[in-house]
Structure 1
């Protein structure tokens, strides 16, 4: 069960959906248990002061994606702590399989029964933000509290100048590599590639010397776009109204993938299979480098402990910008909520430093609260550390310099798909790099103009 949940938890699947704005009612009043003012200053045993009956607790509904049953104890524990500190609020937790979230949210919003708090990623949540269906966290969250979160991660939840979510847990990619394959190829196992140029050279050496592949760039998600940004490509203008990637930097990025594919330095499957294939090949000993979040080493540990034992970790491979990517999950509050303040309060409680550190010690993820990184768990290796321990330290060490490289964008799925289709056409030789870039540029301008 852990293997399945960890895999599903960090697949950055960006789902599309619409939403309708609901009513924006005021928060229910808090519990009171005070004496009423007597009519006179005298009281008698036969006429005791009257008391207001305690107010009924309000209930807020909290939706998560694929966290139950693996994390039942943790989530229920946080809810119990929140309710103990907020006796007028009860939290109803509903866990939704990630594949069902889109249709369930659609149905709930259409019937004006949306949850009070929902666990989504920035691209997913931005679809609701497009419709102004989420509360503005810049207005609901005090400035001193906002400042506790990583600035770049907080900004990743911004659309049209409004912040639509509170950052929850993060995953920062690292370079995990098989030292035995490096040694077999004659490469220094203590000096993995740090740049895309070095990665290209290492992949060539590994293929020539071992017949294995250096790495696997999954093209089913945002990998190509993130790589372009790290290589110094500006995808759009500041207003996101026009494509700006048909440049020498854009051509260099496209050519990087084209040359890897046409020189057979990456598997043919990159055009048809995604990140799961990269994990399968790495744990089978057929792939030297796995660029991913450290949490995926749990899968390797379960299925291929010998490969895990040969694994070392280094910072994420990047380009001349030295930019590093981080994936974020957040909590949002729909405007339909009748208890917005309680929903925001719960979101801040769920994501506070103490609760995040507790969660991070259960599953290899990272906190969105900056001071949480001061916990020794993120910067001190235990005695006899495992490769998973080492990956955690490397991942945490680069978090302050990481950011969400692809911000929420309108019609993002269409933009991503058109870029990947153009890139794959160039890799297959159906278009030249120049033709592929021009095709993607035209399509992006068409989509951005909608």
Structure 2
């Protein structure tokens, strides 16, 4: 169970004040290059599950760079945002930190992070998936180096499909198809097919997949009050008001969907393959009847990828060494080794050439099969929600508007208009 929670923390799509004004990696030309320096590296809840791996990479780096010592500090997932903000505020920030794009962008907005477009040579930048590298861009600067990735797959209970008279070899591929499956499963079994997680960035990602633009090109105005945005809102409203999804979607998130799926109360789970580890532990009978298909999407065919990054605060007195370590931690060899421990994907494009991501072992498990599905769709996936100013406020306001429409407190048109007005107010500041 401890291992699962560490793995879960890895995938949670994840994380001001005074800072240095330097825009370049610090280089003391007069310093002795043989002088030993220590850099501090913060991760989010990777210890003790991944101690052997992380310490092994650090040992390898220190052997190649005897003048650099790495001090690893593992921070509880729930404490990272508070601790990194406090550290930056007190000018005691680590040299390297593991953050997600949305939270890292808060520090980038304050000009607190090294611009990796300047710190990383072009030949090294080109090794990473282009779209993932660009997802770390804020105001024209790139604030992080991609580390590990995850793409959702559609996991579904073949027995529930069969009980409802549905073809288990033909799972839904789009949200509109899910609606039809949900009607059939509810009518035939009395159970639910789908639990659309509305926490995190899931709602906004779904809207983009269904063709809605969230903002105009320069991110100064909302753009989702459109036919595509209305279609997305209407889908959730119809699912809820026709009792085709659980009432809890308004109060609980992705964790509840996992609980219901492993209890046999839900036919479809849209999630990262890593969550099958929990199902294997808690409900092996459900795992046995689980298959995986490609990520649910809209008519656009867009698929989302979640990314975690390494950032270097400008406060670091050893920026050059910190960037060097970040590139080493995220190189192809080290990423593949990490991916074989936990069901995640590499951000280095060449790492995907490893047969691990394309070939099934003998007697493959549902987890093996889910990994292959996830890996195959990576090249067609992108980070759908770019870093945005005041993101939490924007995310909350659009969820509250949708919630009001689902509860029939206002029409879909009124809900979209309310959210649009709030976004325009926030984006104009």
Measured against the shorter chain, the TM-score band is: over 0.9
- Give the one of 20, 35, 41 matched to 2:18: 20
Describe the SS at the equivalent of 1:435: helix
User: Within the alignment, does 1:195 sit opposite 2:195 as a pair?
Assistant: no
What residue in structure 2 maps to residue 392 of structure 1? Answer: 371
Of the three residues 224, 227, 230, the one matched with 1:251 is 230
- Greater C-alpha Rg: 1
Contact 2:230 2:416 in 1 (8 A): yes
> Which deviations, in whole Å up to 9, do the C-alpha atoms of 1:340-371 show, x marking residues without a partner?
11100000000000000000000000000011
Q: Offset at 1:272? A: 0.5
Corresponding residue number in structure 1 for 2:6: 5
- Within 1, Cα distance between the matches of 2:187 and 2:99? 43
CA contact (8 A) 1:31 1:88 kept: no
Structure 1 unaligned blocks of 5 or more: 33-53
Q: Could you tell me which of 320, 325, 328 is aligned with 1:346?
A: 325
Query: What does 1:67-106 correspond to in 2, within 5 Å?
Result: 67-106=46-85
By how many angstroms is 1:56 displaced? 3.5
Q: 1:120 aligns with which of 84, 90, 99?
A: 99
Contact 2:150/2:345 (8 A) holds in 1: yes
1:172 aligns with 2:173: no
Which SS does the other structure have where 1:90 is aligned?
strand
Aligned-residue offset at 1:55: 4.0
Report matched runs for 1:47-86 at 5 Å: 55-86=34-65
Give the aligned partner of residue 304 of structure 1. 283
SS of equivalent to 1:169:
strand
TM-score by length of 2: 0.97
Rounded Cα–Cα distance in structure 2 between residues aligned with 1:28 and 1:310: 60
The match for 1:377 among 328, 343, 356 is 356
Show the counterpart of 1:228. Answer: 207
How far apart in 1 are the matches of 2:21 and 2:238?
A: 54
Structure 2 counterpart of 1:262: 241
SS in structure 2 opposite 1:344?
A: helix
Contact 2:14 / 2:308 at 8 angstroms: preserved in 1? no
Aligned-residue offset at 1:257: 0.2
Q: 1:324–1:401: 8 Å Cα contact kept in structure 2?
A: yes
Give the conservation status (yes or no) of the 8 Å contact 1:23–1:338. Answer: no
8 A Cα contact 2:205 2:385, kept in partner: yes
Separation (CA, whole Å) in 2 of partners of 1:7 and 1:128: 24
Using the TM superposition, name which of 104-113 and 137-146 deviates more.
Answer: 104-113
* Structure 1 CA distance for aligned equivalents of residues 384 and 21 of structure 2: 34
What is the Cα deviation at residue 218 of structure 1?
1.0
What is the Cα-based RMSD across aligned positions, in Å?
A: 1.4
TM-score, reference length from structure 1: 0.93
Distance 1:154 1:23 in 2: 23
CA–CA separation in structure 2 for the residues paired with 1:200 and 1:224:
16
Answer yes or no: is the 8 Å Cα contact 1:28–1:339 preserved in 2: no
Which residue in 2 is equivalent to 1:46?
Answer: none
In the TM superposition, 1:107-186 aligns within 5 A as: 107-186=86-165
- For 1:75 and 1:320, how far apart are their aligned partners in 2? 41
The partner residue of 1:215 within 186, 191, 194 is: 194
Question: Unpaired segments of 5 or more residues in structure 2?
Answer: none
In the TM superposition, what is the alpha-carbon distance from 1:28 to its structure 2 partner?
Answer: 5.2
Give the distance between the partners of 2:410 and 2:335, measured in 1 at CA. 47
Is the 2:14–2:102 Cα contact (8 Å) retained in structure 1?
no
Distance 2:373 2:181 in 1: 21
Aligned length: 426
Q: Helix, strand or coil for the counterpart of 2:270?
A: strand
1:437 — aligned with what?
416
